[in-house]
Chain A
Amino acid sequence: MSEHILSIIWLTPLIGMFAVMCLPKENKRLIRYVANGFAVLGMLVTIPLIRGFETANADFQFVERIDWIPTIGAQYYLGVDGFGYIMILLTVVIGWLSIWCGWESIQKRVKEYYAFFLFLQAGMLGVFMVLDVFLFYVFWEIMLVPMYFIIGIWGGERRLYAAIKFFLYTLTGSVLMLLSLLTVYFKHIEQFGAASFALEDLMRVAAFSSADLQFWLFWGFFIALAIKVPMFPFHTWLPDAHTEAPTAGSVILAGILLKMGLYGLVRFAMPLFPAGATAEFTVQAIVVLSIVGIVYGALVSLMQKDWKRLVAYSSVSHLGFCTLGLIALNPNGIAGGMLQGVNHGLSTSLLFLAVGIVYDRRHTRAIADYGGLANRMPVYTVLFAVAMFASAGMPGLNGFIGEFTILRGAFEVNIWWAACAALGIVLGAAYLLWLFQRVMLGPITNPRNEDIKDMNLREILVMAPLVAGCFWIGLYPKPCFEILKAPTAKLVERLDPGYFSRNGLENPLDKYAQSKVATLVKE
């Protein structure tokens, strides 16, 4: 059982999808129960993963490997390390909450809605556990399809435009990525005479290919990932998609889909093309784009009149921090970048859920239509404040830990990077606090908000786990850093061999290797 745990995890939502498709479409209640049941089940099946996962282990765990298309060397090859593990946990939790949060707001075509959501969930989980580059591409692409429908059918007024824009943008990036991975694949055949798409096989190609080639291949990959993240200037699909998607769709987009870009960088792009990732131009370009993204995203957020669009643009700013951390190429930067990805998943999901709650009541997203909500919705105001402070990087909440670690990583490389990025934190606080002031505080300006109802129990319960997560990472981030430590060290050593010994740091990989030897000796 536990040797197939990864397959079980991604297949559970897929089975759920087929189950939902078999139900009669008139019985909306039953459909909701079944879909939510599978979402909860999807979380429960990760328990063996959580119990069995060894944080100190730097290798891939729970590996499953079967031939799929032997002629071209594609395999069904799954496995997780710290990066994948933390993302899978984030996905099952956010996936569950996003399925739950549509309980009342989705009334039309309920059956398809849940079918697409469960399909999406399966695809996302697949991305975070594949170690075969071909299969990775399959999951990466297939996941776009349900998202297209979710935005296009249940979205806001400009949903048609937003849906196809999202799809075309991401598809353009992915086909370039396909070319990159096909090139590295046939270089592998040329070098070793065997067809394979397995990540560790393709990683061996780097030693035999020129820095120039690696540079181009890295960028082929990177553009796809930068569109997904999204980095400035590839971000223009994001405000439309996030704003027009239904609440649950925005939550998934912000919470998980964007993290795929980060994950793709640390799992595939950087290890496959180390010379490309560490090339001076690459580093400079990504740093500049990240900082521009941080500042630009924040400034544009300040200008927004639409509440949801403001949150959407804030993602551009926050994800700029993540990419800045990753490209610092040191342990603090990379661990911070990935952790900030998780943090952003928690806090921005909360913000989108919060917008969704008032939107369900008033069907408007304009900030000017609200004001003084604190008078009528005290619980809501408190939860929103937590989300806001988490997002703004207030100490004691998760955002602070992530941003601080990233800034430390950036500072180690170049003080100016950190200084510019810190400006983003100030601006972040500005647009969030101003938003809070305009919608929550003061007297009720719009008479139609007089009888607005506070959150009901379900809405509170949906937000509660995320709020708890924000506090947990904010107050006790050690477990997360422990999880990220081994894969981060491995990545740093891959990009910059000898980093730890050069800087007089202890390499967590050595410790693990020693313990491995010790157990062997004991046996």
Chain B
Amino acid sequence: MDAILFSAADFHVLKPVILLCLFGCGILITDAFLIRNRADRWKNAIPALAAQVAVAASLVQHLGDVRSGGAFSGLNGSMQVDGFAVFFNWLFVLAASLAIVISARYMGAEGEHRGEFYALLLFAQAGMSVMAAGYDLVVLFIGLETMALSFYVLVGFLRDTRRSNEAALKYLILGAFSSGLLAYGFSILYGISGSTNLGEIAKAVAARSEGDLALFLALITCSVGLLFKIAAAPFHMWAPDVYEGAPTPVTAYVSVASKAASFALMLRIFLTAFESAAEAWMPLLGAIALVTMTIGNFAAVTQTNVKRMLAYSSIAHAGYILLGLVAGNETGLRGVAVYLLAYVFMNYGAFALVAALRREGEAAEDIDDFNGLYHRAPGYTILLAIFMLSLTGIPPLAGFYGKYFIFLAILREGYYLVAVFAAIYVAVSAFYYFRLIRACWLLEEGEQQKPAQLDMNFGTRAALVACALLTLLIGIYPQPFIDLAGESVLAALR
């Protein structure tokens, strides 16, 4: 073999990942040597944001190349840059930028503001980037673990808070367990096909007969491992505790970016490697989606802590997104992409407000803490109402279009009963989202304690307004976003 180990083309493919790693290491160094003063720690956010700009620039390049010359691969076919990868990378850039922007004030207020925080955010993003573009089991697994390891640390970043420590430990143990299952599934797939390349595996799987035991085992273990990662029922138990314990910006990042990355991985594997076994996994995933929506929606109704409520709601959303994969048609996958895009903005908006709410310096995270917020911050409660309505799926807001495509997709496949359940759960979800609106708008603050206030810096404000505007914009003029999502989906189907 006289192949060059690392060509310029490989570099081009890996550019976003390399940039993220370099900036991450850079932050570690500058934080250690240049930033002496505790109060200056927020300056670490600047290189982190610069990294996002750099990644965005390379994504623009990638998108241009994909549009003109189609998908291209690197590293001997183990990474593939196509519309799908680029779309998901855009989601990660958005999610990471928002996380960076809302972190500065929050971590400062919690007294845990360190440079590593931003470095870890970038490392996690590098892992996700690999997950979206990987076309090889080993590469995908490395991406997944890079992301997961960074998140274990980020979740436990509030070292003096017991809930945060507990969350990190739980996440680590269950995450490691699910990664193990997934690795097991990957090894069976390798056994079946003798290759780690997804394309080769797809051919080998297609050649297998129906009801093949090895294939069945691989399917089950891979599914369980991935369902853990997206927090689908009955593998969702870790999510509420982790979401509640983690620093709020990290919660937002986990719930949006890690979920999107896991869905990217799931779509890649199920639509390439397991594509020919679709008849086996569709009913399985369909049942899981239904159970996930049921548990997520009904459990969210009884929560009193906002972060837990949003955690259960994000479980319910995972169920909806999963339905898009179950339908398996173009509309459904477009729905997945639109849903995830809308979810970035509406969920970040909600979490940014939760992160900013404090009572006498303590984070205020109960629904009751929002009581009468309208009188103190009318503008922000309007934004909160927009996010909640969008999460419910009220048109014309961004969240509606995700549900629209997914409903349409499952109706097309003739799953009428599933559609009816999914639709009625929208009304259930309205109940708990409206509890927050009710607290802000309809209730008055209690008199026994000082009311909670929003504590925001310029970055948080800008992030909130941007999220709200985009939620509205995607709602009122969704055309370009739907087309962008459609483009990425077609790449995954081919």
Contact = CB atoms under 8 A, between A and B. Distances in A.
Interface of A: 68-72, 137-138, 141-142, 144-145, 148-149, 152-153, 159-160, 163-164, 167-168, 171-172, 175-176, 178-179, 182-183, 185-186
Contacts of A178: 404, 407, 423
A13 B443 CA distance: 28
A185 B482 CA distance: 18
B384 to A, nearest CB: 13
Interface of B: 385, 389, 394-396, 404, 407-408, 411-412, 416, 419-420, 423-424, 426-427, 430-431, 434, 438, 441-443, 478-479, 482-483, 486
Contacts of A172: 424, 427
Contact of A182 (B385, B395, B411, B483): B411
A126 B120 CA distance: 49
A71 to B, nearest CB: 5
Contact of B441 (A142, A149, A183): A149
A163 B442 contact: yes
A48 B427 CA distance: 40
Contact of A141 (B394, B434, B478): B394
Contacts of B431: 164, 168
Nearest to B405: A72
A144 B479 CA distance: 25
A147 to B, nearest CB: 13
Contact of A142 (B394, B404, B408): B394
A183 B409 CA distance: 10
A71 B482 contact: yes
For A70, A159, A171, the residue with the greatest tally of chain B CB atoms inside 10 Å of its CB is: A171
Given A69-B482, A152-B441, A164-B438, A179 B426 contact: no
A119 to B, nearest CB: 12
Contacts of A141: 394-395
Contact of A152 (B416, B438, B483): B438
A230 B421 CA distance: 23
Contacts of B408: 182, 185-186
Contacts of A152: 438, 441-442
A186 B427 contact: no
Contacts of A72: 482
A183 B411 contact: yes
Given A71-B483, A153-B442, A159-B442, A164 B434 contact: yes
Interface centre among A153, A182, A186 (most CB of B within 10 A): A182
A137 B407 CA distance: 14
A145 B423 contact: no
A142 B430 contact: no
A182 B438 contact: no
Q: Which one of A172, A175, A185 has the greatest number of beta carbons of chain B within 10 Å? A: A175
Query: 6 shortest A-B CB distances, which residue pairs?
Result: A175-B423, A172-B427, A138-B395, A152-B442, A171-B427, A175-B426
Given A153-B442, A175-B424, A178-B404, 5 more contacts: A138-B396, A141-B395, A142-B394, A145-B385, A159-B442
Contacts of A71: 479, 482-483, 486
A145 B397 CA distance: 13
A179 B427 contact: no
8 contacts: A72-B482, A144-B394, A145-B385, A149-B442, A163-B442, A176-B420, A176-B424, A179-B420
Nearest to B385: A145
A154 to B, nearest CB: 10
Contacts of B479: 68-71
A171 B395 contact: no
A144 B385 CA distance: 13
A69 B478 contact: yes
Contact of B426 (A70, A144, A171, A183): A171
Contact of A145 (B389, B419, B426): B389
Contacts of A153: 441-442
Contacts of A159: 442
A477 B423 CA distance: 43
Nearest to A159: B442
A182 B419 CA distance: 11
Contacts of B438: 152, 160, 163-164
A175 B407 CA distance: 10
Contacts, number: 74
B83 to A, nearest CB: 16
B399 to A, nearest CB: 12
A164 B434 CA distance: 8
Nearest to B423: A175
A142 B395 contact: yes
Contacts of B395: 137-138, 141-142
Given A160-B438, A172-B424, A145 B394 contact: yes
A186 B426 contact: no
A373 B412 CA distance: 62
A457 to B, nearest CB: 34
Contacts of A168: 427, 430-431
Contacts of B482: 69, 71-72
A60 B214 CA distance: 63
Nearest to B443: A160
Contacts of B443: 160
A192 to B, nearest CB: 16
Contacts of B419: 179
Candidate in B385, B423, B426, B478 with the most chain A CB atoms within 10 angstroms: B423
A145 B396 CA distance: 12
A77 to B, nearest CB: 15
A96 B441 CA distance: 25
Contacts of B416: 179
Contacts of B407: 178-179, 182
A153 B378 CA distance: 14
A132 to B, nearest CB: 13
* Highest count of chain B CB atoms <10 Å: which of A153, A159, A167: A167
Nearest to A190: B412
A176 B427 CA distance: 10
A175 B427 contact: yes
B403 to A, nearest CB: 9
Contacts of B442: 149, 152-153, 159-160, 163
Contacts of B434: 148, 164, 167
A421 B420 CA distance: 35
A152 B442 CA distance: 6
A25 B416 CA distance: 49
Contacts of B394: 141-142, 144-145
A273 to B, nearest CB: 16
Given A182-B408, A185-B408, A142 B423 contact: no
A163 B396 CA distance: 21
B465 to A, nearest CB: 16
A183 to B, nearest CB: 5
Nearest to A180: B411
A13 to B, nearest CB: 17
A144 B412 CA distance: 28
A99 to B, nearest CB: 20
B421 to A, nearest CB: 11
Contacts of B385: 145
A190 to B, nearest CB: 9
Which of A68, A163, A178 has the most C-beta atoms of chain B within 10 angstroms of its own C-beta?
A178
A142 B393 CA distance: 11
A120 to B, nearest CB: 14
Contacts of B396: 138, 142
A71 B420 CA distance: 25
A61 to B, nearest CB: 26
B203 to A, nearest CB: 33
Nearest to B375: A109
B423 A167 contact: no
Nearest to A149: B441
Contacts of A148: 434
A176 B411 CA distance: 12
A179 B441 contact: no
A153 B443 CA distance: 8
A164 B437 CA distance: 11
A163 B435 CA distance: 12
